Amino acid sequence: MTRPWHAIPIAGSAEALQSLPETLLRFDPHPYVALGAPYPPGSDPFRLRRSVVQRLLQAQTWLQHHADGVNVLIFDAWRPLAVQRFMVEYTRALPGVSEDQVLALWATPSEDPSTPPPHSTGAAVDLTLADAQGQPLDLGGAIDAVGAIAEPDHFAGASAGSAEARFHQRRSLLNDAMSSAGFARHPREWWHFSWGDQLWAWQSGQTQASYGRSAQA
């Protein structure tokens, strides 16, 4: 499926992937590793481009100053094409999921260097919020959920004081934290943010992206 950001040219960068520091919370075990996704042996899926890691730390610092006891909680980071293919097929096999929903949720695992899936660049991260004990907060829908519930503003019209209003507030808080560090949010996924890839360039009005698909394993 062609995305509107695929027309953005990629400058290219040799900046290396870097493992996330221990100060950033992450799901353990990694959700896709637990499903059997084919990551290269010995590789760390919790890696991003060095500059993206630094911006993620900035977002965490912003949260510490604006929401006491709330932290970012990393779900997924760098994703090689083999894992992208695996997750497409995994979702396709789920009961009640249509092909249109599969194509809407997952970027095509394209080998074309001009249209890399965002996570293959090391510039995209899926994340949520956690409380002071490191437990995930409820943002009103699971990461990788299909359908309208994944849309960032799904609960925007909720009544004040309701659970749905709280979900919207938390989604907005996550977006505010990530935006403070320069990240752009996926227009259809409340959990997906990137900096430096084609989606980011398209969302932020840049003429080119910095990162193409990472060759690191």
Annotated catalytic residue 22: no
Q: Give the C-alpha separation, 83 to 85, whole Å.
A: 5
How do strand 71-76 and strand 25-26 relate by DSSP bridges? parallel
Spot the catalytic one: 22, 99, 164, 189.
189
Distance separating alpha carbons of residues 65 and 162, to the nearest angstrom? 26
Q: Where are the beta strands (DSSP E) in the chain?
A: 17-19, 25-26, 47-49, 71-76, 124-130, 184-185, 192-194
| CA–CA distances in Å: residue 82 to residues 39, 64, 217 | 7, 36, 11
Catalytic residues: 189
